[in-house]
Amino acid sequence: MRRNGDRPLVMGVLNVTPDSFSDGGRFAVLDAALAQARRMIDAGADLIDIGGESTRPGATPVEEDVELERVLPVIAAIRQIGDIPLSIDTLKPAVARAAVRAGAAMWNDVSGLTASPDSLPTAAALGCPVVVMHMKGRPATMQDDPRYDDPVREVFSDLEARANAAIAAGVAPDKIWLDPGIGFGKRLEHNLALMAALDRLKVLGFPVLLGVSRKRTVMAIDPTAVDPRDRLGGSLAMALFGAAKGVDAIRVHDVRETVQALKVWAALGEAAKTAEVRASQGYEV
Listed ranges 48-56, 68-76, 145-153, 274-282: which one lies at the site for ligand HH2 (CB under 6 A): 48-56
d(CA 282, CA 279): 5
Site for ligand HH2 in 52-71 (CB under 6 A): 54-56
**Going by C-beta distance under 8 Å and a sequence separation of 6 or more, which residues neighbour residue 251?**
11, 13, 49, 209, 210, 211, 212, 213
Closest CA to 23 of 9, 33, 10, 31: 33
Q: Assess whether 263 carries a catalytic annotation.
A: no
Q: Does 21 bind ligand HH2 (CB under 6 A)?
A: yes
Looking at beta carbons only, is 3 or 269 nearer to ligand HH2? 3
CB of 19 to ligand HH2, least distance (A): 7
Q: Using CB positions, name the residue nearest to ligand HH2.
A: 211
Q: Assess whether 175 carries a catalytic annotation.
A: no
- Name the DSSP class of 29: S
Q: Does 51 bind ligand HH2 (CB under 6 A)?
A: yes
CB of 169 to ligand HH2, least distance (A): 19
Q: Does 12 bind ligand HH2 (CB under 6 A)?
A: no
d(CA 258, CA 45): 9
- Alpha helices for the chain (secondary structure H): 30-42, 64-81, 93-102, 119-126, 151-168, 188-196, 198-202, 216-221, 232-244, 255-280
Q: Does 108 bind ligand HH2 (CB under 6 A)?
A: yes
Catalytic residue among 215, 216, 231, 245: 215
Measured at the CA of 230, the angle between CA 226 and CA 232, to 5 degrees, comes to 130
Active site residues: 215, 251
Binding-site ranges for ligand HH2 (CB under 6 A):
13, 15, 17, 20-22, 51, 54-56, 89, 108, 110, 131, 133, 179, 181-182, 209, 211, 251
